[in-house]
A and B are shown apart, each in its own frame.
Chain A
Amino acid sequence: MRDVAVIGVGLTKFGELWDKSFRRLIAEAGSKAILDASISGKDIDAMYIGSMSSGRFVGQEHVGALVADAAGFSHLHIPATRVEGACASGGLAIREGYLSIASGMNDIVVVGGVEKMNDVGGNFATETLVTAADQEWEAFFGVTFPGLYAMIAKRHMYEYGTTKEQLAQVAVKNHANGALNPYAQYQREITLEQVLNATMIAHPLGLLDCSPVTDGAASVVLCAAEKAKEFTNKPVKIIASGQGSDTLALHSRRDICTLDATIHAAKMAYKQANLTPSDIDLAEVHDCFTIAEICAIEDLGFVEKGQGGKAVENKITTLDGSLPVNTSGGLKSKGHPVGATGVAQIVEIAQQLRGEAEKRQVKDARIGLTHNVGGSGATCTVHILEAM
């Protein structure tokens, strides 16, 4: 296995981008990453694109070739593959790109993630997102993702005494970070009272406990680490890639408060990197709902099971805490264009490790982790990155 490095990153603004099409979004993010890496089309050995449901959101499948075409590379006939794993599609695309270089098959790979979600109405978007749940045993009976995560939250409260205020503090923290991110959908702080008094969606999750519907794209250029310095003087090495799966339906899990796919992916990643959770300087975790971030920091081993809410309350995960989590603003504030999220997490960590995160820069950041979840936890990828 060869070492793999990130040599270029690109991001579109996240938000309601009414005047940017699906192909324009991914072409914009990809072009930025390619320019950042100082490569040209002929250098690219393969492309992997994460997109959850372009077919339902914009009526477009066959996304791999479309992205190569939109990037202006159709004449180069680059192998271009779409990867799908619900909201973990981006993380999976990163892992596929990583594996193809680590294996020695490819030297330079462009990975992208894209979703354009606002071209459909809210109800259709909700129905589309719930295709990531078990259609036969969950969605058919009317549950939606806020409902599934609300059940996780209720059980977490019952088992561990987690409070609605602790959930709300996740959103407050992530908005405080997002306010410093010029690419975030919501660049504004919110108060605890606003979160607690927001319109109820699925008890105990209010509107501001939920990540938004977002248009956006992200891209990174991956390169064999031994060649990375030919293109950039600030490469960031991917030192581990983990992936796990679990039952598609939430009710089939051993414990609905624990995402075993996360535990498995994290264990795989820590082992490969020969690190423990305490070695991680900062993390981008999958906070599709506030409870998801609390479960994530527990399942990734940053705190003991059941202590996630207290950790947030004690401000361990704030930008100046001992383990900053979601410095980008996370899915809650930066936005959650589902297929792009896993790639955007890599972009944030790479920028932090390159010392280019500006107002939200974590001091002396050296090792960062990304955690991307599909569905209610049936797919998870964990990547660990280190400054070279």
Chain B
Amino acid sequence: MKDIGIVSYGSYIPRYRIKAGVIASVWGKDGATISRGLGINEKSVPSIDQDTATISVEAARSALKRCTIDPQDIGAIYIGSESHPYAVKPTGTIVGEAIGATPDLMVADYEFACKAGTAGVQSCTALVKADMIKYGLAVGADTSQAAPGDALEFSASAGGAALIIGRDNVVATINHTCSFTTDTPDFWRRAERKYPSHGGRFTGTPAYFKHTISCATNLMQKVDTKPEDYDYAIFHQPNGKFPVSVAKKLGFTYDQIKQGLIVPYIGNTYSGASLVGLASVLDVAKPGERVFLTSYGSGAGSDGFDITITDKITELARDNAPTVAQMVEDKEYVDYGTYAKLTDLLYWE
């Protein structure tokens, strides 16, 4: 699979932020303790007219701005999210139409909790490998939900990233990908329920850690690498603690993960989380550098990717779209009342 990989990338993070301390004060909790415990200082908040479709479009447009691909050459679009605006009616068609990729196009919306975006990357990679498409667009994006007062409210945020996968002008080859999947119900949202449920501490050891570590270990065995062979590592980041802990358990250093660790500044963008981390790495990566990525989706599974940056990265017009770091800094704080309005906490029927 040496010749297949990422041709371009883009990401999008809404401008609004709310500080963990502001949420904590509403619920009578200590913000400093919460921030320390979760490793999250603030999170992004979608504006009232932003949803998974608009975030996906923004990310896809950024990816297209950085390269010279004709959108009509995109043969497949997969949008991974757990907050698709419609229960029935695809997000992918909206994105396809907005970027001018229709109608000769395969489209599907994916859902696998926080790893649906990387599942889309795998599908696009396979279709390119099978010569069924020239380019595929995979997006992971969410305006994630959290019940008011739930621990998730401190992390559930909005954002996303898009990757264009192809054979030509590959800036980062996907050397290998594999997954580790079991039926582990650690986090779920039943049909027609507004907010997700979760298994508390069950979401840790038997869920996130088991799947992430197993997938990462399997991948390194398959490609015969060790943690020190990588310049960057990105892990799914539901909070600021889990990815740091899993990196340490696997033998990666903090220096390897810090470029892709975005959750402390924007919260958990769910399907976007690991791909926003990858976008942050691609913002600065140099030819020859090697990148390790392991996503995690509750329910549960992990997708692992062994990636090598090519010389073509220098030809990619990375400056044509904002970097993750720029979007992290471009922010405006809102209070809890505004946050409640923007995220539809004040809904009535």
Contact = CB atoms under 8 A, between A and B. Distances in A.
A121 B206 contact: no
A121 B205 contact: no
Contacts of B206: 18-19
Among B199, B200, B205, residue most surrounded by chain A Cβ atoms (within 10 Å): B200
A118 interface: yes
A138 interface: no
A118 B202 CA distance: 8
A183 to B, nearest CB: 18
A194 interface: no
A19 B202 CA distance: 11
Interface in A159-205: 199
B193 interface: no
A122 B201 CA distance: 9
Nearest to B202: A18
B199 A199 contact: no
Nearest to B198: A121
A122 B199 CA distance: 9
A199 B29 CA distance: 10
B25 interface: no
A16 interface: yes
Contact of B205 (A16, A122, A199): A16
Interface string B181-212: 00000000000000000011110011000000
Interface residues of A, number: 7
A201 to B, nearest CB: 13
Interface in A14-66: 16, 18-19
Nearest to A213: B201
Nearest to B210: A18
A118 B30 CA distance: 26
Contact of A122 (B30, B33, B200): B200
Nearest to B201: A16
A121 B199 contact: yes
A18 B206 CA distance: 7
Contacts of B205: 16, 18
A353 to B, nearest CB: 35
Contacts of A118: 201-202
Contacts of B30: 199
Main SS at interface, chain B: helix
Interface string A122-144: 10000000000000000000000
B247 to A, nearest CB: 21
14 contacts: A16-B201, A16-B205, A18-B202, A18-B205, A18-B206, A19-B206, A118-B201, A118-B202, A121-B199, A121-B200, A122-B200, A122-B201, A199-B30, A199-B33
A6 to B, nearest CB: 34
A286 B201 CA distance: 25
Nearest to A123: B200
Interface of B: 30, 33, 199-202, 205-206
Nearest to B29: A199
Nearest to B199: A121
Closest 4 CB pairs of A and B: A18-B206, A121-B200, A122-B200, A199-B33
A45 to B, nearest CB: 39
A122 B151 CA distance: 13
Contacts of A121: 199-200
A293 B107 CA distance: 64
A18 B199 CA distance: 12
Nearest to B33: A199
Nearest to A19: B206
Interface in A102-155: 118, 121-122
B149 to A, nearest CB: 12
Contacts of A19: 206
Given A16-B201, A18-B206, 9 more contacts: A16-B205, A18-B202, A18-B205, A19-B206, A118-B202, A121-B199, A121-B200, A122-B200, A122-B201
A71 B273 CA distance: 47
A16 B200 CA distance: 12
Contacts of B201: 16, 118, 122
A16 B199 CA distance: 13
Contacts of B202: 18, 118
A73 B33 CA distance: 51
B29 to A, nearest CB: 9
Nearest to B184: A18
Contacts of B199: 121
Contacts of A199: 30, 33
B188 to A, nearest CB: 13
A121 B198 CA distance: 9
B118 to A, nearest CB: 25
B32 to A, nearest CB: 11
Contacts of A18: 202, 205-206
Interface string A196-228: 000100000000000000000000000000000
A366 B61 CA distance: 77
A122 B202 CA distance: 11
Contacts of A122: 200-201
Nearest to A119: B202
B197 to A, nearest CB: 9
Nearest to B206: A18
A240 B42 CA distance: 59
Among A16, A18, A118, A121, residue most surrounded by chain B Cβ atoms (within 10 Å): A18
Contacts of B200: 121-122
Nearest to A200: B30
A113 to B, nearest CB: 23
A77 B200 CA distance: 40
A18 B203 CA distance: 11
A255 B332 CA distance: 57
A121 B199 CA distance: 7
A16 B206 CA distance: 10
A199 B206 CA distance: 25
A199 B201 CA distance: 17
A16 B207 CA distance: 13
A16 B204 CA distance: 11
Nearest to B200: A121
A121 B33 CA distance: 22
Nearest to B204: A16
A198 to B, nearest CB: 9
A301 B199 CA distance: 43
Nearest to A197: B33
Nearest to A198: B33
B322 to A, nearest CB: 38
A80 B298 CA distance: 41
A19 B182 CA distance: 14
B305 to A, nearest CB: 28
A118 B33 CA distance: 24
Interface string A320-341: 0000000000000000000000
